[in-house]
Amino acid sequence: MSLDIVPRQMEEARELLQKVYGYQDFREGQKKIVASVLEGRDTLGIMPTGGGKSICYQIPALMMQGLTLVISPLISLMKDQVDALTTMGVAAAYINSTLSGKEVNERIRAAKRGELKLLYVAPERLELDWFRAEMSELGISCVAVDEAHCVSQWGHDFRTSYLAIAPFVRELPNRPIVAAFTATATPEVTEDILKLLRLQEPEVFVTGLGRNNLAMSVLRGENKREFIMQYAANHTHQSGIIYAATRKEVDDLYERLVRQGLSAGRYHAGMSDQERAAMQEAFLYDDVRIMVATNAFGMGIDKSNVRYVIHYNMPKNMEAYVQEAGRAGRDGEPSECILLFSPQDIMTQKFLIEQNPQDSERKHNEYRKLQQMTEYCYTNRCLRNAMLDYFGEQHEDQPCGICSSCTDERELVDMTVDAQKIFSCIHRLRERFGVGVVASVLKGSRNKKVLQYGFDRLPTYGMMSERTEKDISEQINMLVAEGYLALSEGQYPVVRLQQMAAEVLKGKRQVMQRVVRTVSQAASARTRDGHRRQALDSGPSAMNETVFEQLRLIRRELAAKEKVPSYIIFNDATLREMSVVCPVTERDMLNIKGVGEVKFRKYGAPFLQFFQNQNIDSFAADYE
């Protein structure tokens, strides 16, 4: 391959990006992945939800000869992707269980005639002999695997059908490029993806997991219901998702929100297929602003204008958390991800692990991941950096400045003496017991276990009697999160000393901690207001906000006519830029991010007419 081919191709790719998608240039992570695919290399891209993964295979698909086959796990994801591509004038289709046999055959024939550039299918299709035979006649140039973590049993959403992808690729007459994508993969899962999809000399890109538009917060000690009700009431004009661990909690929160007069829906596995589909559609079309759901909701939902995601309970692992939290702010606009944590969440997740029938090795792995999630909830470190370290992304160790750790205004306190008491107690217990027993001994509890083992005779018994056992447990968990202590894996973890703890006991190291957070509406408000101030420093004026709302009404009318969700027409970020720029010519419109040529021809006229008919100077004067 000539050295100048890829630069020429990348220039062509940028032109397509501007013409079809309405963006001037690729993001840095996208650029490298697109270049790799255009070079004809197998590629693995680990990018955040909302990071633009689909563009990384869609642009090459438009440039390559033949068909790009996209393996996609959910029907809703396929439909959204195909609807979005169709509005941009791209020939795409999907094949899934919603179609009749006749419709499936029609789409396969269209692909054989070369009328499609992208065809989306579920991985289960690849297990059908007749389907594999049909695919072998299509001249597939690229197989794009979305949600690639599903191939790994160590991932958070293992699907056995993904194991059929590598044999399918091997059977094709000419091996296509294989490009795999996921939003969350630990180094362990990454190795599984490379091995189980049998990628050949692949390029691997881990990029952008720490999205700058997301303000991450972990709040401990909040009255969760009160927080949800107040937050939802203060954000009635925004779309948000509230995740809860159980169906019972989902139903309870949903009913409370509805009684408060808020526009809410719910989604969990206990509902009928028809009920879930209706709720999902209402949320996608902005008929419902708040979706209260278990983790059954969201995978493949490409709704771009979700402004907040609140976790009512701690998720079972970091992969699930990042995947779910990443559904906020897919359009790049400032958004919030709030995790309401309480120690009871740990017990809930342990119960769910025990209820799930799985082999001991997998269960052991689930407990390990749960402990890592717990440590994230207790850490005082920058949350973004903690997340990036978990997934192995290289980054500068600079605080993000907007997470709840970075904006925490509580004073750092020297906790060395308390830490020494805790470490000494663990040592005297011979590192054989869990957090609860250590806290009970330090408190001076008279419970059965303490007395049975004679722990009331230890020198450390009652050394922290002025504190509650809950406070002591909280501090122990913080010391675990900061690396002074470690917990063994399993259902009943044992707390053990680490090297840093030995240094503290010898007086060679100080332990500085922020005081334990109790109910702190003010602190959480500071987190949100700080992020909001940052976003609004160069953000919309009152006039822009009013124009923005009027543009949303125009978009809603167009979406209703097209029978697609509003964000398929233009996302919020595009309307926001319109409200600031106030375009009055075609060139003005085409310079706005997200307005490609096809979309402008289809939908641009009513927006342009709106601005041409407005006297913006006079309009602005009303707000001076």
- Both 291 and 221 in a single domain? yes
pTM: 0.72
- What pLDDT is stored for residue 524 in this prediction? 46
Please check the confidence at residue 126 and state whether its pLDDT lies above 60: yes
How far is Cα of residue 511 from the mean position of the Cα atoms in its chain? 33
Determine the residue type at 71.
I
Domain membership of residue 54 (yes or no) is yes
Cα–Cα distance, 358 to 364 (Å, whole number): 10
Beta bridge partners of 180: 44, 145
- Torsion over CA of 117, 121, 123 and 126, rounded to 10 degrees? -80
Find where tokens 């493949």 sit.
300
Structure tokens at 248: 């019972």
Kindly tell me the sign of the dihedral angle through the C-alpha atoms of 418, 398, 329, 45. Answer: negative
**pLDDT one-digit tens code per residue, 535-561:** 434 444 555 778 888 998 999 899 888
Domain membership of residue 171 (yes or no) is yes
- What pLDDT is stored for residue 491 in this prediction? 76
**pLDDT one-digit tens code per residue, 331-376:** 888 999 999 998 888 888 888 888 877 777 888 888 889 989 998 9
Q: What's the Rg (C-alpha) of the chain?
A: 27
- Both 137 and 23 in a single domain? yes
- What pLDDT is stored for residue 4 in this prediction? 55
Tell me the residue ranges of DSSP E strands in 137-263. 140-145, 177-182, 203-206, 214-220, 239-243
- What pLDDT is stored for residue 413 in this prediction? 85
Cα–Cα distance, 568 to 304 (Å, whole number): 9
Q: What is the CATH number of the domain that holds 596?
A: 1.10.150.80
- Both 20 and 156 in a single domain? yes
- What pLDDT is stored for residue 386 in this prediction? 92
- Both 243 and 194 in a single domain? no
Domain membership of residue 396 (yes or no) is no
- Both 179 and 42 in a single domain? yes
Per cent of the chain over pLDDT 70 is 92
Find where tokens 């997991």 sit.
209
- Torsion over CA of 281, 149, 143 and 25, rounded to 10 degrees? 70
Q: What is the CATH number of the domain that holds 466?
A: 1.10.10.10
Determine the residue type at 16.
L
- Both 69 and 126 in a single domain? yes
Domain membership of residue 529 (yes or no) is no
Domain membership of residue 47 (yes or no) is yes
Cα–Cα distance, 497 to 77 (Å, whole number): 46
Q: How far is CA 407 from CA 60, 134, 230, 382, in A?
A: 41, 56, 21, 9
pLDDT-based confidence at 284, cuts 50/70/90? confident
Beta bridge partners of 328: none
Domain membership of residue 525 (yes or no) is no
Residue 285 makes CB contacts below 8 A (sequence gap 6+) with 559, 565, 566
- What pLDDT is stored for residue 301 in this prediction? 67
Of 339, 360, 391, the residue that ends a domain is: 391
Whether residue 449 contacts residue 438, with contact meaning beta carbons closer than 8 Å, is answered with: no
- Both 142 and 12 in a single domain? yes
CB burial class (10 A; 0-12, 13-18, 19+) of residue 483? middle
371-385: average pLDDT? 90
Q: Does residue 469 or residue 220 have the better pLDDT?
A: 469
SS3 154: coil
How far is Cα of residue 242 from the mean position of the Cα atoms in its chain? 13
Domain membership of residue 13 (yes or no) is yes
Cα–Cα distance, 179 to 46 (Å, whole number): 11
**pLDDT one-digit tens code per residue, 263-272:** 999 999 899 9
Question: What is the domain range of residue 607?
Answer: 542-621
- What pLDDT is stored for residue 136 in this prediction? 94
- Both 198 and 230 in a single domain? no
- Both 90 and 233 in a single domain? no
- What pLDDT is stored for residue 176 in this prediction? 96
- Both 357 and 467 in a single domain? no
**pLDDT one-digit tens code per residue, 150-206:** 998 876 678 899 999 999 999 999 999 999 999 878 888 899 999 999 999 999 998
- What pLDDT is stored for residue 618 in this prediction? 47
Number of Cβ within 10 Å of residue 382's Cβ equals 22
Domain membership of residue 88 (yes or no) is yes
Q: Does residue 52 or residue 595 have the better pLDDT?
A: 595
The number of distinct structural domains making up the chain is 4
**pLDDT one-digit tens code per residue, 224-265:** 999 999 999 999 989 999 999 889 999 999 999 999 999 999
- Both 303 and 386 in a single domain? yes
203-213: average pLDDT? 83
Residue 109 makes CB contacts below 8 A (sequence gap 6+) with none
Structure tokens at 614: 């407005």
- Both 66 and 169 in a single domain? yes
- What pLDDT is stored for residue 60 in this prediction? 96
Of 206, 232, 254, the residue that ends a domain is: 206
- What pLDDT is stored for residue 184 in this prediction? 78
Please check the confidence at residue 619 and state whether its pLDDT lies above 60: no
Please check the confidence at residue 89 and state whether its pLDDT lies above 80: yes
Of 182, 206, 230, the residue that ends a domain is: 206
Mean pLDDT over each residue of the chain, to the nearest integer: 87
Q: What is the CATH number of the domain that holds 318?
A: 3.40.50.300
